Amino acid sequence: MDNTIYKALKEILPLKGSLQAPEGRREILKHLGQEDTHWGYYNNGSLRFPNLVSQTIARLREEGLVSTKGWTWMWNQVSPPQDVSPPQAMVVEETDDLFDDLEEEDVSFLYDLTDEMTLAAVAAATPCFGKYLERDPACKGCPLANFCGQKNQAIKAQKAARSALNAENQAILSNLGVNLKTIKANIPKTALMQEATIIVAKCDIDCVCSGVRLYAGENVVFVPQWGILHKIVYESLIS
């Protein structure tokens, strides 16, 4: 947790009452006059700031100052109870092993992993998330194991679906006599492939790179600074 974020939230939330998480993060940056890069990055390249905010919200929730519902933070307007018990006398043990019995706290108790925002932040700070291995003891003991396993299965399903689609597209292109390898080697450097849009052909026209006939009413792809492409040709080029 970051103390500056903690203080900022204690000043912002009483005034706002409630905030959506994205808006709340923007308010913190505005309040502190900082960019989100100020807190640096994790080894996987993701920003530390969102996770630090999630940790701080968790702390405020433990103190009874904040409630969360999904992506919404709500100020409870209730001061935490004050400890009025008399101070206890400090007992100093003459030993070098005072901290031997301390154990590292389980992340599952530090964070509410059923909260979507918190889970996303913790997962972003975990480079191996989505690479679950059932035979790996470290994976089995990880608090993120169930979520990671689900993510892993989803990734595998996506890859399988993509592989099946690619195979189907290859068969279609083969029947059309399209040589995808040759087309890839001759894509214009100026072609804005990532800015392509799907449109409905207004008239019959040939695909700019394969020569395949496209017909009026058919869904085709317009690539800026190149032309009109057969939809499957385009999908195969970017896969």
- Read off the pLDDT of residues 123-150 as tens digits, 9 standing for 90 and up: 787 788 878 887 777 777 787 778 887 7
Residue 110 confidence class, pLDDT cut points 50, 70, 90:
low
> How far, in Å, CA of 186 to CA of 23, rounded?
45
Give the sign of the dihedral formed by CA 64, CA 70, CA 71, CA 74.
negative
Out of 3.40.50.450, 1.10.10.10, 3.40.640.10, 1.20.120.350, select the CATH number for domain 1-78+110-127. Answer: 1.10.10.10
Model pTM above 0.75: no
Count, residues in the chain: 239
pLDDT at 171 over 80: yes
Where along the chain do its domains lie?
Answer: 1-78+110-127, 130-176, 179-238
The alpha carbon of 214 is separated from its chain's Cα centroid by a whole number of angstroms, namely 38
> How far, in Å, CA of 54 to CA of 31, rounded?
17
Whether residue 7 contacts residue 58, with contact meaning beta carbons closer than 8 Å, is answered with no
Contacts of 173 (CB under 8 A, 6+ apart): 180, 210, 232, 233, 236
The alpha carbon of 172 is separated from its chain's Cα centroid by a whole number of angstroms, namely 35
> How far, in Å, CA of 159 to CA of 152, rounded?
11
SS3 84: coil
Whether residue 151 contacts residue 131, with contact meaning beta carbons closer than 8 Å, is answered with no
**What's the whole-number average pLDDT of the chain?**
80
pLDDT at 193 over 50: yes
- Read off the pLDDT of residues 60-105 as tens digits, 9 standing for 90 and up: 888 889 988 877 888 986 554 555 555 565 555 554 454 444 444 4
